Every structure is written in structure tokens, then in C-alpha cells.
């Protein structure tokens, strides 16, 4: 018995560590777009769109704004598809389980890597399908890995936050490709190696993850994956998963809620909490995606075309992204600390969770405004602070999305609400390409007025934490009135 438990413990640790490495090295690579865009421009992708124009004092300068627009369009399409397909990806995982979802993720990621490897300045349009394939494959890796938190009981939230942080940090992969490119390694070779790494994803799928999903709470001596004792292992997994499926949908991330308290999906969808959360997510995500997608042309403008300075600041931005894995748990710690405070008489667990989420939602909105203000100031040294605020805010934002939905709504609607929220936010983020075209056109390349507008738009994010705070205060007031009424009678 002790030997079996030790084997399970080792397998759990291997699953966790390899999942962390997978998220850190592959899953969110597309968000390191600034580094890849620099390499693509160096290699001459879309360079045919550049043309000579007359500048100040009749000097001839090379205008590559059309090239920047094409690269920005690739990133816009990629981020849209990445978010919009979260809903069908969630349904795919819920219905078919881990193995099918991960095999699809591996196929998409490998195909995307091969298409980038086969692209060239003569075939730049291969990037349009390639980057979205990398993005969708990566988000499926994250979705299937977050369930690993269920193996670790009380540390479950910390594991989930770490995986989300690793997902953010994996944008540094394109920085590594950029540094290798500067050392003489071609884009073709780098992405061929990346596609070959898919063998690792396949091996992990069959040996270190279940066929369906990891249940919560975890049954005693729960086993999964292929091993020497395959029959007993699979039997344990099937038994555990069948018993888990008899409960409400969505137990991967949330606690069970009594059926008598559950709202319908329509009621959740039309509630002010979901609408407020969608607004909170959309405005901040648009600000982040627009910043990442336009970082390269912004640095070119601030450095007056000095490619060595652009390279240095691009590297600095990518290095700060590595810190996301360190920033991600902070948001969870803030919520857990406030959730651990003694509850008032008559206060339910859900009310306590909502109260604990207010500070997290407020701090996330405040960080976004500060980040947007710094990004609006046309000062090159200040961008170091902008990079730090950006990675901190992004870690809080994506860690807080699932956390709030899990405490505000019934568990049976978690997957649908999370996927739908990300999909609707993706539609809002399509505005990033018109914004970029506006800067290059009517604003003459100066994004100051657009940045000011986006900063003002970011203030709308404060509506959500204010709404949740007023709701909690109203519930507290009603409890006090009932308490006083009962005391009087």
C-alpha cells in the first residue's frame, strides 16, 4: 500500500513539473509577438510594402508603415481566434476528455510550427494561418493542464495560478528565437526544432495524464496514465471519473453549489455580474493586445529608427514576461487571505468569496490604468516601468477571470460562462486593427491621442469592482436588518 502511494506521489509530481515546463516553454508563445515581429522585419517579410518617401529637409526615408500594418493584422487575427475559440475548446475538453483535446492541440501546434518554418519573405502569407494554429494549440495545452491542480488538494488554486503565470511567461520563447537568430540560427531551423518537440507532448498525453479528466475532490489512491499495471490504473481512473461525472459539470475549478441555489444559464448570462465582468475583461484585454501588437512600431518611433535600441528594448520586454510566473500567485494569495477572515453571522461562503474578490478586481483595474498612463508618455526610459506594470497587470487579469466566475456563478455553468466571456471579449479586441490603422492614417503615426482615449476607456474597468462591493454591502445591510428584527421580536 505504501509503495503504491509513493508511486502515485511521484507520478503526481512528474505530472505537475512537466505540465509547468510545457506551459512555460510552449503554450503562450504567440504573446511574445514583439520579438518575432523584429525577426520577421529583419528577414524582409512584407518588405515589398516599404517605399521611399520625402522627409524633413527633402531627405529620402523608407516608409514601412504598410509592413507594420500587415504584421499587426496577423497578431490581431491570432489573438481574436485564440480567445474566440476558447468556448468550443472548453466544450471539446468537457465532452471528449484530455487525450482527444491534447492530441488535437499537438496537431495544431505542430502544423503551425511547420508553417512558420516553411514561410519566407516570398511566402509571408503562411504566417496568417500559422500563428492562430500556434495560439489555439497553446491554449488547449493550458486548459488540459489546469486540472492538474486537482491532484494537490489544498494547493489547487496555487497550482492553477502557477500554470497561468507560466502561460504568460512562455512569450519569452520568441525572445530565445530572436537571440538565436542574431547568433546565426535561421527561423526555419528554430521552428523545425519546435515542431519536433511535439513528441514530448504526445508522450506526456499518454503516460502522465488521464484519458478523461482529473476529478475533484480526488478519490483515494486515484491512478491514471499508462503504466505496467495498466488494467488496474485504467480501472481506477474510469471508476473515479464516472463517479465524478455524476455531479454537476465544471468541477475542475469550482466547489459544488447546492442545486436549490443554482441559477439558470440565461439568468447568469444576463446578470450584472457577468456583464460587469465582461466589460472589465474586454477593456483591459484590448489595451494589452494593442500594446503588444504595436510595440515594435512604437519603439521604432521613440528611438527614431535605431535598430540596436529597438532590439534592446524588445529584449527587455520579453525578459519581463518571464516574471509572469512569479507574479501570478499574488492575486490568488490576496483573495485567499481575505477569504480566510472570519465570516460575519449569517454570511454564506459565496458572499465571503465575493467580498474577497473586490480588492483583487480593484487592484487589477488600477494596475491597468497606471500601465496605460506610462505607455501613453512618449519617453523611452519610462517604457521599462511600462513593461513591469504590463506583465504584473496581465498576470492579475488572466488569473482573475476564472477566479471570479468560479465564485460568482454555479459550478455547472463555469465552462460555458468562461468560454463565452473570452469569446465575446475577443470580438471587442478586433478594434485593435482599426486603432492601428487610425494611428498610421489620420493621426500621422503619433498614437498619443489614441493612448489617452484608451486610458480613459480603462477607467470603465472600475465599474465591476464597485458593483460587486455595493452588492456585498447591500447583503450585509440586509443581514443587519434581519438580525435587528429578530432581536426586537
Q: Write the pLDDT tens digit of every residue in 54-95.
A: 766 667 777 778 888 888 889 889 988 888 888 788 778 877
Alpha helices in 183-214 (DSSP H): 187-196, 198-207
257-296 pLDDT, tens per residue? 344 456 787 888 888 899 999 999 999 989 988 888 788 8
Which range of residues forms the domain containing residue 118?
A: 10-215+265-340+348-480
Asked, for residue 257, whether it belongs to a domain, the answer is: no
Asked, for residue 224, whether it belongs to a domain, the answer is: no
CATH of the domain at 161: 1.20.1250.20
Asked if residue 233 has pLDDT above 60, the reply is: no
User: What angle, rounded to 10 degrees, do the helices at 272-293 and 414-429 form?
Assistant: 50
- Report the pLDDT averaged over residues 143-160: 76
Asked, for residue 226, whether it belongs to a domain, the answer is: no
Q: Return contacts of 275-279, CB within 8 angstroms, 24+ apart.
A: 276/463, 276/464, 276/467, 276/468, 277/401, 277/404, 277/405, 277/408, 277/421, 277/464, 278/421, 278/424, 278/425, 279/460, 279/461, 279/463, 279/464
Cell of 229: 499495471
| Per-residue confidence (pLDDT) for residue 338, from 0 to 100 | 64
Asked, for residue 131, whether it belongs to a domain, the answer is: yes
CB 192 within 8 A of CB 117: yes
Q: How confident is the model at residue 319 (pLDDT cuts 50, 70, 90)?
A: confident
Q: How confident is the model at residue 234 (pLDDT cuts 50, 70, 90)?
A: very low
- Report the pLDDT averaged over residues 211-229: 68
Asked, for residue 333, whether it belongs to a domain, the answer is: yes
Calculate what percentage of the chain has a pLDDT beyond 90: 29
85-108 pLDDT, tens per residue? 887 887 788 778 889 989 999 999
Quick one: DSSP state of residue 211? S
Number of domains in the chain: 1
Count Cα neighbours of 354 within 13 Å in the Cβ-side half-sphere.
21
Asked, for residue 441, whether it belongs to a domain, the answer is: yes
| Per-residue confidence (pLDDT) for residue 425, from 0 to 100 | 86
- Report the pLDDT averaged over residues 177-181: 92
340-388 pLDDT, tens per residue? 666 666 667 677 778 878 888 999 999 999 999 999 998 899 999 999 9
Asked, for residue 201, whether it belongs to a domain, the answer is: yes
Asked, for residue 462, whether it belongs to a domain, the answer is: yes
Cell of 394: 496581465
| Per-residue confidence (pLDDT) for residue 66, from 0 to 100 | 85
Is the link from the previous residue into 75 a cis peptide, with omega within 30 of 0? no
Query: What kind and span of H or E run contains 465?
Result: helix 463-488
Q: How confident is the model at residue 192 (pLDDT cuts 50, 70, 90)?
A: very high
Q: Give the torsion sign (CA, 281, 282, 287, 293).
A: positive
Amino acid at each position: 500500500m505504501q509503495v503504491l502511494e509513493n508511486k502515485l506521489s511521484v507520478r503526481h509530481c512528474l505530472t505537475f513539473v512537466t505540465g509547468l515546463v510545457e506551459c512555460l516553454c510552449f503554450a503562450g508563445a504567440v504573446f511574445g509577438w514583439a520579438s518575432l515581429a523584429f525577426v520577421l522585419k529583419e528577414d524582409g517579410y512584407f518588405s515589398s510594402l516599404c517605399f521611399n518617401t520625402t522627409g524633413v529637409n527633402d531627405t529620402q526615408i523608407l516608409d514601412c508603415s504598410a509592413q507594420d500594418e500587415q504584421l499587426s493584422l496577423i497578431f490581431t487575427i491570432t489573438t481574436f481566434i485564440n480567445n474566440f475559440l476558447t468556448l468550443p475548446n472548453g466544450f471539446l475538453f468537457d465532452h471528449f476528455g484530455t487525450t482527444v483535446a491534447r492530441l488535437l492541440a499537438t496537431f495544431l501546434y505542430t502544423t503551425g510550427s511547420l508553417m512558420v518554418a516553411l514561410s519566407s519573405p516570398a511566402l509571408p502569407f503562411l504566417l496568417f494561418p500559422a500563428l492562430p494554429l500556434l495560439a489555439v494549440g497553446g491554449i488547449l495545452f493550458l486548459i488540459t493542464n489546469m486540472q492538474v491542480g486537482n491532484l494537490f488538494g489544498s494547493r489547487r488554486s496555487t497550482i492553477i495560478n502557477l500554470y497561468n503565470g507560466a502561460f504568460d511567461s512562455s512569450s519569452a520563447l520568441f525572445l530565445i528565437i530572436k537571440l538565436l537568430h542574431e547568433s546565426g540560427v535561421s527561423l526555419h531551423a528554430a521552428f523545425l526544432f519546435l515542431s519536433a518537440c511535439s513528441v514530448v507532448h504526445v508522450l506526456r498525453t499518454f503516460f502522465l495524464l488521464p484519458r478523461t479528466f482529473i476529478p475533484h475532490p480526488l478519490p483515494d489512491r486515484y491512478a491514471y496514465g499508462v503504466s505496467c499495471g495498466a488494467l488496474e490504473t485504467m480501472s481506477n481512473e474510469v471508476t473515479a471519473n464516472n463517479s465524478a461525472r455524476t455531479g454537476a459539470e465544471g468541477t475542475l475549478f469550482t466547489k459544488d453549489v447546492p442545486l436549490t441555489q443554482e441559477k439558470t444559464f440565461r439568468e447568469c448570462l444576463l446578470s450584472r455580474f457577468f456583464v460587469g465582468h465582461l466589460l472589465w475583461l474586454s477593456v483591459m484585454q484590448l489595451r494589452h493586445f494593442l500594446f503588444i501588437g504595436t510595440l515594435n512600431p512604437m519603439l521604432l518611433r521613440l528611438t527614431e529608427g535605431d535598430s540596436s535600441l529597438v532590439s534592446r528594448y524588445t529584449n527587455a520586454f520579453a525578459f519581463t514576461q518571464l516574471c509572469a510566473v512569479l507574479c501570478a500567485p499574488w492575486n490568488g494569495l490576496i483573495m485567499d487571505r481575505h477569504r480566510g477572515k472570519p465570516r460575519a453571522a449569517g454570511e454564506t461562503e459565496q458572499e465571503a468569496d465575493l467580498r474577497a474578490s473586490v480588492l483583487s478586481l480593484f487592484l487589477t483595474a488600477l494596475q491597468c490604468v497606471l500601465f496605460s498612463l506610462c505607455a501613453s508618455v512618449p519617453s523611452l526610459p519610462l517604457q521599462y516601468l511600462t513593461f513591469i506594470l504590463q506583465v504584473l497587470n496581465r498576470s492579475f487579469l488572466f488569473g482573475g477571470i476564472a477566479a471570479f466566475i468560479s465564485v460568482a456563478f454555479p459550478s455547472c455553468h463555469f465552462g460555458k460562462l468562461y468560454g463565452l466571456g473570452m469569446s465575446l471579449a475577443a470580438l471587442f479586441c478586433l478594434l485593435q486593427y482599426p486603432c492601428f490603422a487610425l494611428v498610421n492614417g489620420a493621426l500621422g503615426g503619433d498614437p498619443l491621442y489614441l493612448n489617452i482615449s484608451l486610458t480613459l476607456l480603462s477607467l470603465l474597468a472600475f465599474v465591476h469592482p464597485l458593483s460587486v462591493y455595493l452588492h456585498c454591502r447591500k447583503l450585509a445591510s440586509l443581514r443587519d436588518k434581519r438580525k435587528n428584527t429578530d432581536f426586537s421580536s
